[in-house]
């Protein structure tokens, strides 16, 4: 049994380092592979956890741009030569998020059904309210990004068999890479000193905030970690990275808790687990959370040498070649998974994805691609 | 979080994870099962077909419109409880 957890941890590390290989994509492959159902679930839980931690590395080192307006806070560290510090902050946030969500899991298990019953009758209006709040905060330009992404999502979701891959990797992955190619961004030499001094109290605070936000958004279909980070205004880039790091791992743990507690499969990996075993008892939930903890430990340990290795790639290879390679890989994957129409969706999504940084608003508004169809479905 | 703290946190998480996996005794059954054996009797009623299948001592039920011949075969379906009894319901 432990070998599947170990395999999941290493699978998550590899998937996390390759842009575009999302947990949901691996989950679909696992569902088709026909392995033992329970071992597949352990593998997926472990993979999701380690991937959410190692994801810090490409988040910092890929998709950066010279344009200050479109810079992700992680890329600001990279531009100053402190990319390794950025990775360490994200990983610290992710581990803190995992520990806090692990400790709060019993509480969430009890509370989520009550919240679900409370929210259910007014789900549409609450979701609409959250969306309006998020969009209005950044004004008319955010509304433009949100509505165009929404129309694109509405059309794409019923157009091909695997629409999410070309849609999301186009909107969030390819657009950043294209922007960095056009403005001739190159990764500066990275400093090796990488010990950010973050007090435990601050780590805990942002981990708890991550659990609260993720637990709240768990009740709303279509809203994920990126919207959770947008709900609160965090101006300091270190704090923002702590929060986004925490949200990734918290989402994995809370998704498992929510599935057993309220029977809702929040993400693709849990949906595949549901398809494989139907339902879990508490013991299964404990084992799955255990797999997440084990895998997070492995990924956390691996993050230090891996981030140094990843950073050293740019000493030998020009950033634009890496970006072009990743773009080519995403194109091939879109074509393989969703056919020619998928490739078209990928291309259009990449162009739409450019709107947010060009208009100077948060990329998370492009999640309109899922939120608009969800709102229409709930209507 | 400096390197030593990171190392300690990661090691603790790994050990806690292993202990949890080791001691948890999940009662999980696969959603879809395949049973190989012999169909010895087929009782077709209005919308449902009851199949006697050996060597598994399970009530096999089909709500689909397929026809079942006696003899060796592999059946694909899921386990469900009906009135306190475990049934093997075939996938369509």
Domain ranges of chain A: 2-139+196-322
Contact A345, A361 (CB under 8 A): no
Q: What's the pLDDT score for residue A289?
A: 92
Confidence at residue A291, expressed as pLDDT on a 0 to 100 scale: 92
- pLDDT of amino acid A296: 92
How far is the alpha carbon of A281 from chain B, nearest alpha carbon, in Å?
7
Taking an 8 Å cut-off on Cβ atoms, the answer to whether A287 and B24 are in contact is: yes
Residue percentage of chain B with pLDDT more than 90: 0
On whether any CB of chain A is under 8 Å from the CB of B18, the answer is yes
Q: Tell me whether residues B13 and A196 touch, CB distance under 8 A.
A: no
Q: Is A95 part of the contact surface with chain B (CB cutoff 8 Å)?
A: yes
Contacts of B2 in chain A (CB under 8 A): 195, 197
Looking at beta carbons, which residues of chain A come within 8 Å of B1?
A: 88, 91-92, 95, 196, 198, 203
Q: What distance lies between CA A308 and its chain's CA centroid?
A: 22
* Interface membership of A193 toward B (CB under 8 Å): no
Closest by Cα among A2, A26, A32 to A12: A26
DSSP 8-state assignment for residue B91: P
Query: Which CATH number is B84's domain given?
Result: 2.40.50.140
Amino acid A247: pLDDT: 84
B20 found inside a domain: no
**Mutate which of B13, B80, B81, B91 to test chain A, going by most A C-beta atoms within 10 A?**
B13
Instruction: Identify the pLDDT of residue A69.
Output: 46
pLDDT digits (tens, 9 = 90+) for B59-91: 788 887 777 777 788 777 777 777 777 777 877
**Residue B12 forms contact with A (CB below 8 Å):** yes
Q: Point out the residue among A37, A198, A292 whose CB comes nearest to the CB of B31.
A: A37
B3 lies in some domain:
no
Instruction: Give the separation between CA B83 and CA B59, rounded to whole angstroms.
Output: 12
For residue A280, the chain B residues in CB contact (below 8 A) are 26, 28
Question: Which of the four pLDDT bands, split at 50, 70 and 90, describes residue B92?
Answer: low
Count of structural domains within chain B: 1
Please give the Cα distance from B80 to B92 (Å, whole number).
Answer: 15
pLDDT in tens, B25-66: 777 766 677 777 788 778 877 778 888 877 766 778 888 777
Whether residues B13 and A95 touch (CB distance < 8 A) is answered with yes
CA distance, residue B32 to nearest chain A CA (Å): 7
**Is residue B23 assigned to a domain?**
no
Could you read off the pLDDT of A66-105 as tens digits, one per residue? 554 455 777 777 777 778 888 888 888 888 889 988 888 8
- Nearest Cα to A170, choosing from A184, A156, A154? A156
Question: By the CB < 8 Å criterion, does A143 face chain B?
Answer: no
Inspect the interface and report whether the beta carbons of A297 and B78 lie closer than 8 Å: no
Query: 3-state SS string over chain A?
Result: CHHHHHHHHHHHHHHHHCCCCCHHHHHHHHHHHCCCHHHHHHHHHHHHHHHHHHCHHHHHHCCCCCCHHHCCHHHHHHHCCCHHHHHHHHHHHHHHHHHHHHHHHHHHHHHHHHHHHHHHHHHHHHHHHHHHHHHHCCCHHHHHHHHHHHHHHHHHHCCCCCCHHHHHHHHHHHHHHHHHHHCCCCCCCCCCCCCCCCCHHHHHHHHHHHHHHHHHHCCCCCCCHHHHHHHCCCCCHHHHHHHHHHHHHHHHHHHHHHHHHHCCCCCHHHHHHHHHHCCCCHHHHHHHHHHHHHHHHHHHHHHHHHHHHHHHHHHHCCHHHHHHHHHHHHHHHHHHHHHHHHHHHHHHHHHHHHHHHHHCCCHHHHHHHHHHHHHHHHC
The domain in which residue B50 lies consists of 33-90
Query: Touching check for A202 and chain B: CB below 8 Å?
Result: no
Nearest residue in A to B15, CA atom: A294
- pLDDT < 50 stretches in chain A: 68-69
**Nearest-CA distance A37 → chain B (Å):** 5
Domain presence at residue B24: no
Neighboring chain B residues of A301 at a CB cutoff of 8 Å:
6-7, 10-11
> Is the Cβ pair B31, A275 closer than 8 Å?
yes
Residues in A closer than 8 angstroms to B28, CB to CB, are 37-38, 41, 277, 280-281, 284
Q: Does the structure's ipTM exceed the value 0.85?
A: no
- B72 in contact with chain A, both atoms CB, cutoff 8 A: no
């Amino acid at each position: 049994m432990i070998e599947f957890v170990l395999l999941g941890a290493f699978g998550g590390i590899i998937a996390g380092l390759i842009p575009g290989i999302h947990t949901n994509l691996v989950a679909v492959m696992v569902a088709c592979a026909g392995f033992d159902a329970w071992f597949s679930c352990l593998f997926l839980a472990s993979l999701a956890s380690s991937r959410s931690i190692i994801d810090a590395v490409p988040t910092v080192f890929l998709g950066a741009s010279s344009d200050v307006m479109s810079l992700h806070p992680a890329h600001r560290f990279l531009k100053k030569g402190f990319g390794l510090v950025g990775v360490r902050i994200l990983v610290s946030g992710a581990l803190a998020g995992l520990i806090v969500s692990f400790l709060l899991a019993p509480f969430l298990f009890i509370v989520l059904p009550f919240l679900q019953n409370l929210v259910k009758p007014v789900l549409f209006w609450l979701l609409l309210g959250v969306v309006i709040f998020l969009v209005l905060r950044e004004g008319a330009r955010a509304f433009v990004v949100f509505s165009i992404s929404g129309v694109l999502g509405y059309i794409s979701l019923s157009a091909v068999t695997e629409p999410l891959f070309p849609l999301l990797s186009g909107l969030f992955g390819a657009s950043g890479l294209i922007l960095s190619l056009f403005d001739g961004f190159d990764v500066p030499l990275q400093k090796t000193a990488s010990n950010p001094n973050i007090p435990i109290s601050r780590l805990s605070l942002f981990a708890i905030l991550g659990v609260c936000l993720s637990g709240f958004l768990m009740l709303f279909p279509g809203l994920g970690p990126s919207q959770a980070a947008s709900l609160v205004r965090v101006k300091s880039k270190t704090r923002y990275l702590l929060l986004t790091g925490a949200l990734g791992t918290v989402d994995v743990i809370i998704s498992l808790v929510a599935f057993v507690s309220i029977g809702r499969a929040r993400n693709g990996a849990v949906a595949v687990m549901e398809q494989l075993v139907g339902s879990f008892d508490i013991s299964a939930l404990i084992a799955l959370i255990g797999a997440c903890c084990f895998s997070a430990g492995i990924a956390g340990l691996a993050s230090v040498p891996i981030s140094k290795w990843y950073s050293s790639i740019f000493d030998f290879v020009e950033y634009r070649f890496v970006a072009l390679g990743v773009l080519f890989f995403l194109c091939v994957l879109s074509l393989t998974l969703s056919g020619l129409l998928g490739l078209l969706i990928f291309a259009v999504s990449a162009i739409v994805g450019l709107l947010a940084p060009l208009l100077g608003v948060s990329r998370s508004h492009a999640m309109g691609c899922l939120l608009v169809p969800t709102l229409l479905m709930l209507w | 979080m400096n390197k030593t703290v990171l190392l300690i946190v990661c090691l603790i998480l790994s050990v806690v994870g292993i202990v949890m996996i080791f001691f948890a005794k999940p009662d999980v059954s696969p959603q879809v099962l395949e049973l190989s054996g012999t169909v010895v009797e087929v009782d077709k009623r209005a919308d449902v077909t009851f199949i006697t299948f050996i060597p598994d001592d399970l009530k096999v039920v089909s709500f689909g419109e397929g026809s079942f011949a006696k003899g060796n075969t592999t059946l694909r379906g899921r386990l469900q409880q009906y009135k306190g009894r475990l049934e093997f319901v075939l996938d369509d």
